[in-house]
A and B are shown apart, each in its own frame.
Chain A
Amino acid sequence: MKDRLIPSIIIISFIIIFLIFYKGLQETNIYTPKSEIKKDIPIFSSVKFDTKENINSSEIFNSNKFYLLNIWASWCVPCRQEHSYLMRLSENNKITLIGLNYKDNFNNAQNFLTKLGNPYETILLDEDGTISIEWGAYGVPETFLIHKNKIVAKYIGPLNEKLINEINSIIK
């Protein structure tokens, strides 16, 4: 009896170790800080860039579609860099792009859009930067991917090829 006990205990413990490792492999270990994912979007009101009419956040993010909130400014050099990617992304009808114009001069911003194109469906104004603070943004450019009123992903800094591919794979 005792002869069999020790081998069986050892074998069972190795099987358990195997199962734990096996399960460990299934999980991705790309670490995303918990505080940033699946957070509710803030509730705010703002002014539309072109018509200057007041608008509430609930009127913008009102369907189950994917939204991309992009904080930008005409004076921001990296924003120019990412703009072509945004233009490309705007051709995809699964996602709606919302621009948040951050501490900008109206004429400069309009020049920026006529020169490089307007990828946004709606542009909101954030003249004093408070809305960006509400969103927890660090600076410009910064981009939030929103689904069902939750922040699914957050990208600090300009978007690039890799990140666009990531966004495309999320909204697929």
Chain B
Amino acid sequence: MIYSVVGYYALILGLISGSILTYFSVQNFRNSVILDTKILSLSFLQLFFVVISFFGLVLSFVVSDFSNETVFNNSHTTKPLFYKITGTWGNHEGSLLLWLLVLTLFVFIFLLRTNNQSIKYKILTTIFQQIIIIGFFIFLLKTSNPFNYLFPIPEEGLGLNPILQDPALAIHPPILYLGYVGSSIIFSSALAATSLRMVSGSWATHIKNWTLVSWIFLTLGILLGSIWAYYELGWGGFWFWDPVENVSLMPWLALTTLLHCILVLEKRSILTSWVIILSITTFTLSMCGTFLVRSGILNSVHTFANDPERGLFILIFLFVLIFISLFIFFFFHKEDQKNSINLFWLSKESAIILNNWFMMYFLSVVLIGTVYPIFLDVISSEKISVGPPFYHKLIIPFLIPFLIAMAIGPQMKWIKSNLESKKILIFLLFISILISYLVVKNFDKNLLVNTILISSAFYLFFITVRDFFTKKFKNISQNIAHFGFSLLILSILFNNLLSSEVIANLKIGESYENSKFKIILEDVNQRSEKNYNSVVANFKIISSDGKINKMSPELRIYNQPNIVTSEADIKTSLMKDKFIVINLVQNQEYFNVRYQEKPFMLWIWVSVLLLSMGGILSFFKKRI
């Protein structure tokens, strides 16, 4: 009770300090000789209030204060403490409060750490950032107050959705939000820099670190979400092209492109329009993601709330931001004609621009696949859903030149270069084609396409491996990231090619056998835990080489709320994951068993980790 009240008033005080902060910033902007110390203190004060408010909500969850509507809807006394805490951001209201927390935290760090830029720029960035923050404050207080009071006070809460009770998912939202919200700083500072006409190489150096930070967190956030989907949803995949997944992929694509553009801007002071537009796009896509997920306009596995009022608010807010940025872009930005002409086709920057266009293409495919069903529904009230085949068909062919450009690009120099060591490059290409042909030959499907695809991935792989030896520590971060990417594509391709799946209905004692393995359902146990009861089925799996594995997938029947979930049993090894999941068939004594062998699953996670490792190294390189 007390925590909710404190939290609520802290939120209002945060809004007030935001308004005062904006007022002083505008004042300070007019006569900006020195930075008003009030700005920094007010920014700290705002952060302090939001932290208080956030802890108010966390404590309400910890003590199970059901007079708070958010706690009542999402918690239960029997829930373990860890999930009581993580339940704070496992719902609409709490996750928006987390957004706000990260927003205010980032603007404070921005003010604290930006030293070598002009005062006007710092103030203007703060003003743009405050517009976003105040928008979120109003959104939170008006349509999704996390501290609504309930009377009479319910005895017990409704419980957290069991599929959200998972360690990977517990930290997935905060990490993802650090990435999303980090892009807000890029957005505000790009707008500020455009209005002050100071988009230049030195600005690029300054904003690069912010881009890297958001990129690292976004990559890790997507990774965690993907791991969660693999372990918890029990569909045996890691990416489903679900709208909500796409919504996190789109800012990632924009941000990755932005990162490369910023490198070009830093070195050559060109591509200013690219950088500005991508900065705006990245944040707009993050916001658009929030809109699509929160408004319930999409039908998806993780739709949270279905409330048109909230959707309307974010929609208007989003488009206000879009129009402000369009206005600033068209009004203030004049592309410098001198620099953009001198582009030699064989140079690092043209390779980057080429791949930027590919990235934009991938981004549009994902965007269309996600948004088109909504448009069609509105215009013709026809319901369609866009599935993996659409994305695969449109993306895979273009992955081939993309990978090759990614392999050759880093070999070139800035401005103008003759490709050195051409022989080695051609030799490696030849080797890659040969290896992939030999590998793909064994599976008789789509020989040509698969060979070309796998050889381009192998090509990138070999070239990055070679670079580890020839270039040593020069550009090590870029090389690790590109190496990680080639590994990711290879793992995904081989995972797709070599996976095998069996679906069978088994009773206790029965078995299923094919040429590769034999599955025996040995017995079934019942078990009872604090917040659920479970049925554990014990399987013995004998592979063709005589190895015996015991696997025990589980069916959990949660009591609050009453939901059945399937917990897959997954045996991970270096080369192959074994994945088994059971489902109950209504009124039957047998179980529906799905068994999959998925090679290289571990490598998918490892390669994404490598990818973000590249970013982390690049972030810390200058500091050491």
Q: What is the interface of chain A, defined by CB distance below 8 A to chain B?
A: 7, 10-11, 14, 18, 20-27, 29, 31
Known contacts A22-B312, A25-B312, A25-B315; 7 further A-B pairs (Cβ under 8 A): A14-B326, A20-B379, A21-B374, A29-B297, A29-B299, A31-B299, A31-B383
B378 adjacent to A11 (CB under 8 Å) = no
**Cβ < 8 Å to A, chain B residues 362-381:** 374-375, 377-379, 381
Chain A interface helix/strand/loop/mixed: helix
**Cβ < 8 Å to A, chain B residues 315-331:** 315, 319, 322-323, 326, 330
A20 adjacent to B374 (CB under 8 Å) = yes
A29 adjacent to B326 (CB under 8 Å) = no
B135 interface hit (Cβ, 8 Å)? no
Cα–Cα distance between A144 and B297 once the two chains are bound (Å): 29
Q: Mark B324-367, 1 if CB is under 8 A from A, else 0.
A: 00100010000000000000000000000000000000000000
Cα–Cα distance between A22 and B381 once the two chains are bound (Å): 15
B201 interface hit (Cβ, 8 Å)? no
Q: Which residues on B sit within 8 Å (CB–CB) of A18? A: 315, 319
B308 adjacent to A26 (CB under 8 Å) = yes
Cα–Cα distance between A25 and B295 once the two chains are bound (Å): 8
Q: Which residues on B sit within 8 Å (CB–CB) of A31? A: 299, 383
Q: Which residues on B sit within 8 Å (CB–CB) of A10? A: 326
B296 interface hit (Cβ, 8 Å)? yes
The verdict on A25 contacting B297 (CB below 8 Å), with A20-B378, A31-B383 known, is: yes
A23 adjacent to B297 (CB under 8 Å) = no
Cα–Cα distance between A18 and B316 once the two chains are bound (Å): 8
Cα–Cα distance between A11 and B299 once the two chains are bound (Å): 28
Cα–Cα distance between A7 and B375 once the two chains are bound (Å): 23
Contacting residue for B377 out of A14, A22, A24, CB 8 A: A24
B375 adjacent to A20 (CB under 8 Å) = yes
Residue of B nearest to A4 (CB): B330
Cα–Cα distance between A66 and B311 once the two chains are bound (Å): 34
Residue of A nearest to B296 (CB): A29
Residue of A nearest to B379 (CB): A20
B322 adjacent to A23 (CB under 8 Å) = no
Chain A min CB distance to B605 (Å): 34
Q: Which residues on A sit within 8 Å (CB–CB) of B312? A: 22, 25
Chain B min CB distance to A127 (Å): 24
B308 adjacent to A25 (CB under 8 Å) = yes
Chain A min CB distance to B15 (Å): 25
The verdict on A27 contacting B378 (CB below 8 Å), with A14-B319, A18-B315 known, is: yes
Q: Which residues on B sit within 8 Å (CB–CB) of A14? A: 319, 322-323, 326
Q: Which residues on A sit within 8 Å (CB–CB) of B379? A: 20
The verdict on A24 contacting B299 (CB below 8 Å), with A11-B323, A14-B326 known, is: no
Cα–Cα distance between A31 and B382 once the two chains are bound (Å): 12
